[in-house]
Structure 1
Amino acid sequence: MTQKKTNSYTDEFREGAVKLAIESNQPVAQSARELGVNVNTLHTWINKFHGEPPPGSGKQVNDVHLYEELKQLRRENARLKEERELLKKAAAFLRQRITLKYTFIMHHQSEFSIALMCRVFDVSRSGYYEWQLRPPSLRNQRDEALKANIHKHHQASRATYGTRRLQQKLSEENESVSRRRIGRLMQEEGLACKTRRKFRATTNSKHDKHVAPNLLDRHFTTEKPDQAYVGDITYIPTREGWLYLAVFIDLYSRAVVGWSMDSRMPTSLVNDALTMAIWKRRPKAGLLVHSDRGSQYASDNFQQLLTQHGYRCSMSRKGNCWDNAPSESFFHTLKTELVHHEDFKTRAEAKQVIFEYIEVFYNRVRLHSSNGYMSPVDYESALPVAA
């Protein structure tokens, strides 16, 4: 029997988990399940990072007031976001045929008056009431049911799923639907998949350090977890300045097994990311660790960390981003689905949001095409246990 791995967590992970548990309006047990952490462990971390203040200090009262104010601001922000989304939907329906306008009015009559919506859409109230009395066709009934399911999965994916992934989610519910039909229904509902933007490289390969050969050689699949990791660094804009993110990704499941964030790009940034992966996964000697030729990866400290654990070093060819395609793909996904749609006021705010995206959504929920449209955690859980 293989020895069961024990989870260890870095202080950075623990702090992020505590903030997520405290700031989210959900039970601690639910946060623990989302992070894959034992609920008692998470309670222990909360007590450690946010222990009771000294008696008579007044800090507890102030903290309660600040906490309540923060919750109120979050609720108000959520309401404003919801209103903006509704206006976006209505703008799309203004250009649609009359039956779709009637459908929008029917679905939103609890939020706005029918008279107002008929005036905005330039349709008659009598025509709308007459349309309501007509029995819907079987196809229309089927479309309405599909729209509800599409909305559910689109929202659960944080508006990141297009027709291909939505088709996969519907098939899991025994719904056989063409991608063209899904696309039509998404258009009618004003749903769209988030789009990508270009971004520039961050690491500096102009140095006099030793450069390792490309041992990975674009073999981006492995038979088991913890056989090959790929790593890279990207930048996140905030109003305080850049926040740099280093990650290591397991090629077996595309899980982000280690990450670290800092306001600068010292060698410790990549060391901490790999150390997190080592603590969490306990990879054996022989692990292949691939990266670009950045000075952080070529540094003596990083190379010593690899040597200490018996890991092999691999580096991309000069100026060839395709040699590290999985990490490039992850950063494109992160920026497409999250960063480009946020305006981070502080680095601390960005850290917490990115922590939640990686540990809760990307690793445990988001469907990955390389995994047969399974999340990384589910894909690894489906791996047969060695006898």
Structure 2
Amino acid sequence: MGRREFSEEFKREAVALVLEQGYTVTKAAKALGIGESALRRWMGNRRPVAGAPVVGLQDGSAEQRKIRELEKRVLELERERDILKKFHGLLCQGTGSRYKVIQEAEKAYPAAVVCRVVGVARSSYYAWKARQHKGRSARAELVREVQAIHAQMRQSYGSRRMSQELSRRGHVVGRECARRLMREGGVQARVRRTHRYVRREQTSAIAENRLDRAFAVTVPNRFWAGDVTYIWTQQGWMYLAVVLDLYSRRVVGWATSGSCDTFLVIRALQVALQTRRTEPGLMFHSDQGSNYASLTFQQFLREHQIVQSMSRRGNCWDNAVVERFFCTLKGECVGERAYRDHAEAHADVLDYILMYYNQDRLHSAASHMPPAEFEQLKVETA
């Protein structure tokens, strides 16, 4: 496929995730589907500074990189020194076994780091912790786990997804048991408002419905679908365009703007093309909106050898996957929030898409795994 080219806008967006929104380079690169080295190169010698605007990118010198590496190593050595001092002090206090001392030190430091510094296998420590909790009420633990999942997953999981998430975490729990645990924990999935659509059967004069609701796709980067929705802010409406890969239901392209025009949907598709490896013949499905029917958008598809497919007029079921995503987005993220401006809404929506929906949220069409994990499993087993 050759080397991928990224636009300056995409680079600024990627750098902003680290410099302005506080993500690590590893986490941001994974969410965007790019290499860490590329992201570090775009960042240059810039460091995260609260409120600092993202400006031009430049490569850092070898000396600057060496200094950063040495500073990082100094911080690690200082932390190891503090851990050993705390470990020794707790032992002198007669806290108990070394495992109990690690448990106390874990309140201030990550357990993995403490175990490494004091020379204790993490598996041995975690096995000891498991034995310590053996006498506790399993029911009460499950209820607390359900409450934690409920908060972590934005109050969106019903009994079906709750039972699946508990199973992923090592608890064999059926749907009925999950429902009872949710009732005991006082948690309930957030109820979303429904909308009734008028169904019509008019076909598009631009492109036929080539997808024909064949949403069960077995290969990635062959069938994409997109649409536009709107989000209210105190600055006015912000429009969001997305592109989903029907194989994993992962959001692979996105763009926001104060105008719902052709350039908005082109930008979303450009992001998808930059972050994914595609081949000629890729199909892109959408509704019959004017931005997707424009001559500029059709020309863009032809230049990239993308086959266009369109839903029948007024038939939202022909693009049900994207419609369902928007319903989930507004139920779990946007809700009734009153964003101050487009920048705040953009940051919140992008965090939901890249860090939660793609990376953590279970999806039934992805074998009850997060989309990113489902794609990675496909790569590992190929």
> TM > 0.5 between the two?
yes
Cα displacement (A) at 1:194: 2.2
Contact 1:237 1:344 in 2 (8 A): yes
SS in 1 for 2:309: strand
For 1:14, the equivalent position in structure 2 comes to: 11
State the distance in 2 between where 1:241 and 1:276 align.
Answer: 25
Cα displacement (A) at 1:222: 1.6
Aligned with residue 181 of structure 1, among 154, 168, 177: 177
State the distance in 2 between where 1:315 and 1:8 align.
Answer: 28
For 1:63, the equivalent position in structure 2 comes to: none
Q: Which amino acid aligns with 1:286?
A: G
Cα displacement (A) at 1:40: 4.0
Cα displacement (A) at 1:323: 0.4
Contact 1:291 1:314 in 2 (8 A): yes
Contact 1:6 1:280 in 2 (8 A): no
Q: Does 1:146 align with 2:131?
A: no
Which ranges in structure 2 are unaligned for 5 or more consecutive residues? 47-53, 58-133
Aligned with residue 192 of structure 2, among 196, 215, 219: 196
Structure 1 pair 276/384, CA: closer, same or farther in 2 (3 Å)?
closer
State the distance in 1 between where 2:353 and 2:212 align.
Answer: 27
State the distance in 2 between where 1:277 and 1:25 align.
Answer: 23
SS in 1 for 2:285: strand
State the distance in 2 between where 1:144 and 1:363 align.
Answer: 31
For 2:368, the equivalent position in structure 1 comes to: 373
Structure 1 pair 26/179, CA: closer, same or farther in 2 (3 Å)?
same
State the distance in 2 between where 1:10 and 1:196 align.
Answer: 37
Q: Does 1:160 align with 2:156?
A: yes
State the distance in 2 between where 1:171 and 1:186 align.
Answer: 15
State the distance in 2 between where 1:333 and 1:343 align.
Answer: 18
TM alignment of 1:94-243, pairs within 5 A: 141-198=137-194, 210-243=205-238
Contact 1:231 1:247 in 2 (8 A): yes
Contact 2:243 2:253 in 1 (8 A): yes
Cα displacement (A) at 1:14: 3.4
State the distance in 1 between where 2:9 and 2:172 align.
Answer: 44
Cα displacement (A) at 1:32: 4.3
TM-score (norm 2): 0.69
Structure 1 pair 34/158, CA: closer, same or farther in 2 (3 Å)?
farther
For 2:83, the equivalent position in structure 1 comes to: none
Which ranges in structure 1 are unaligned for 5 or more consecutive residues? 53-137
Higher RCO, 1 or 2 (CA under 8 Å, sep at least 6)? 1
The number of equivalent residue pairs is 295
State the distance in 1 between where 2:244 and 2:319 align.
Answer: 11
Q: Does 1:45 align with 2:42?
A: yes
Cα displacement (A) at 1:267: 0.7
For 1:128, the equivalent position in structure 2 comes to: none
SS in 1 for 2:137: helix
Q: Which amino acid aligns with 2:305?
A: G
Q: Which amino acid aligns with 2:301?
A: L
Percentage of pairs with the same residue: 40
For 2:290, the equivalent position in structure 1 comes to: 295
TM alignment of 1:324-363, pairs within 5 A: 324-363=319-358
Contact 2:224 2:244 in 1 (8 A): yes
State the distance in 2 between where 1:281 and 1:218 align.
Answer: 23
For 1:282, the equivalent position in structure 2 comes to: 277
Alignment RMSD: 3.0
State the distance in 2 between where 1:311 and 1:260 align.
Answer: 19
Contact 1:228 1:288 in 2 (8 A): yes
State the distance in 2 between where 1:360 and 1:326 align.
Answer: 20
Provide, for residues 122-148 of structure 1, a one-character-per-residue CA deviation record: whole Å limited to 9, x for no partner: xxxxxxxxxxxxxxxx99912211022
Contact 2:254 2:268 in 1 (8 A): yes
State the distance in 1 between where 2:155 and 2:10 align.
Answer: 26
Contact 1:210 1:298 in 2 (8 A): no
Q: Which amino acid aligns with 1:148?
A: R
Structure 1 pair 161/225, CA: closer, same or farther in 2 (3 Å)?
same
SS in 2 for 1:246: strand
Contact 1:288 1:311 in 2 (8 A): yes
Q: Which amino acid aligns with 2:328?
A: T
Cα displacement (A) at 1:37: 4.5
State the distance in 1 between where 2:341 and 2:375 align.
Answer: 35
Structure 1 pair 291/36, CA: closer, same or farther in 2 (3 Å)?
closer
Q: Which amino acid aligns with 2:138?
A: R
Provide, for residues 337-372 of structure 1, a one-character-per-residue CA deviation record: whole Å limited to 9, x for no partner: 001142210001111111111111111211111111
SS in 2 for 1:382: helix
Q: Does 1:263 align with 2:263?
A: no
